[in-house]
Amino acid sequence: MEAEFIIVGAGSAGCAMAYRLATAGRKVMVIEHGGSDAGPFIQMPAALSYPMNMKTYDWGFQSEPEPHLNNRRLATPRGKVIGGSSSINGMVYVRGHAMDYDHWEEQGADGWGYADVLPYFKRMESWHDGGHGGDPDWRGTDGPLHVSRGPRENPLFEAFVEAGKQAGYEATDDYNGEKQEGFGPMEQTVWKGRRWSAANAYLRPAQKTGNVELVRALAQRVVIEDGRAVGVEVLRGGKTEVLRASGEVIIAASSINSPKLLMLSGIGPAAHLAEHGIEVIADRPGVGQNLQDHLELYIQMAASQPITLYKHWNIFSKAVIGAQWLFTKTGMGASNQFESAAFIRSKAGIKYPDIQYHFLPIAVRYDGQAAAEGHGFQAHVGPMRSTSRGSVTLASGNPADAPKIFFNYMSQDKDWEEFRTCIRLTREIFAQDAFKPFVKHEIQPGADVQSDEELDAFIREHAESAYHPCGTCRMGRADDPQAVVDPQGRVIGVEGLRVADSSIFPRITNGNLNAPSIMVGEKISDHVLGLDPLAAANDVPWIHPDWETAQR
């Protein structure tokens, strides 16, 4: 079997690339190990806690025991399904802050400053503000990816934004527009009541061109001949075969599986490859290093009124919501329930937000366990730019084995300081007048948890991943020994091979990673096609005028 381009992974970036290459008339083969994304568990936005916890749709990765978090192994879900993690994620849409991308450029990712990436964010989206204001000039109107806002009917969504303002913070109508900093509505990749994954947005239209072949198989290694990638060895139906690419092989298999596949193919830290009996084709010490993620806590409050989503937390109500959604694609099932958000700075002297909030009008965990107190609500909060770094390494030379994932969470003193600040600032927000009618008491951490030591113990036991792993095939200049790919996504030291997904991020962005991952696929597809990049934007983002001296 042969195509011009082989893309490994039908996830956020891979689907976007397949669409751009196919609509340009190129023949593309997409290799995906996972199966169909059909069915209500994936397509119904409110059911998001199900696919994330289903072996059918998830690779089932876990971290190594994390020494700074009581040696807990943290779940590391990655989508093993058409659409990749965009089919199992929380559907939250955040571009990231302008300064994130300017930092990428400073780190050697030339051509990836905010002025360069903003046009791609515009190209990829069709934005629907639902009549709630926002920054139309900063947004896209006719891209494949529909971005909408929840109805925000629950009074708690408004209370959260109002409390933020009462605490002295900015408000923002559109954190994906000119002004990220502040409290305001949250955006979701939901369209007409359905999860608008990369599969729905990009892959299905790409398949309609007749230029895309989807192959269900496990990619085992990239086949490299005379220093050039010429195909991919896959396991399909119990048989090993080689799929050949006349043009290029593009790895878009996630920040966990992309470095694994490079290492299995002989590209990575030479000594580590030798340990596993793998012939070294390119000694790239950066492969699998620079692993980053966001950690978060849920600060949970018991509600004094029965207005939270807990009233639907029973089999009858779930059945009614499910039926309404199945037949009409409306109602409670049509939102991910993350409808208010905030980005704030933790202290004076920090130029742009380093804390993110997701607000949810129920006290519940990602695994679907509701709080024992019943009616409640919660804010997910965590620092955005931890300096802790981990790694993805091979457990063995066998492609069937999961890699070793070690985040090294909370390994810097600053991480602890930032997390304690997150908890204290959140308590202050929940203590504002806007929440007075709704707050009964604090469930978690609990009002008696106050000292630094008590807060640290709570963090060690309860911090969870926000599921934003990235950085393991870092983009940089070709002469940077730690860089894995150049600014066009080309693997340094091998011809005809690129990586395009969240693994190439030099540093994690402010917020959820789905939007930047899709943007990477969009931008690198132009490099693959040899097109000139879109013209740089000259929009100037809002920075707090008193950032040097004030926290808010």
Residue 89 labelled as part of a binding site: yes
188: CB partners within 8 A, 6+ apart: 45, 91, 92, 93, 147, 148, 149, 150, 335, 336, 338, 339
d(CA 480, CA 291): 17
Residue 147 labelled as part of a binding site: no
Residue 90 labelled as part of a binding site: yes
Question: Which CA distances in Å does 77 have to 287, 303, 360, 496?
Answer: 21, 31, 21, 30
- Using the structure block, give the residue that is written with the tokens 């290459």: 21
Element (H, E) at 2: strand 2-8
Q: How many CB atoms lie within 10 A of CB 415?
A: 19
Angle at 139 between CA 134 and CA 145, to 5 degrees: 115
Question: What is the 3 state secondary structure string of 130-170?
Answer: CCCCCCHHHCCCCCCEEEEECCCCCHHHHHHHHHHHHCCCC
Question: Which CA distances in Å does 473 have to 31, 322, 453, 513?
Answer: 20, 40, 36, 15
Question: How many Cα atoms are found within 13 Å in the side-chain-facing hemisphere of 141?
Answer: 4
d(CA 122, CA 375): 39
Residue 81 labelled as part of a binding site: yes
Task: For residue 17, give the 3-state DSSP assignment.
Answer: helix
- Using the structure block, give the residue that is written with the tokens 């693959």: 528
Residues designated catalytic: 468
Q: Is 274 left (phi over 0), alpha (psi -120 to 50) or beta?
A: alpha
What the block records as the tokens of 146 is: 């529909």
Peptide linkage before 445 cis (omega within 30 of 0): yes
The DSSP-derived string for 41-109 is HHHSGGGTTTGGG-TTTB--EEPPPBTTTTTBPPEE--B-BTTGGGGTS--B-----HHHHHHHHHTT-
What the block records as the tokens of 124 is: 């990829």
Binding residues are: 81, 89-92
**Binding-site residue set for FAD:** 81, 89-92
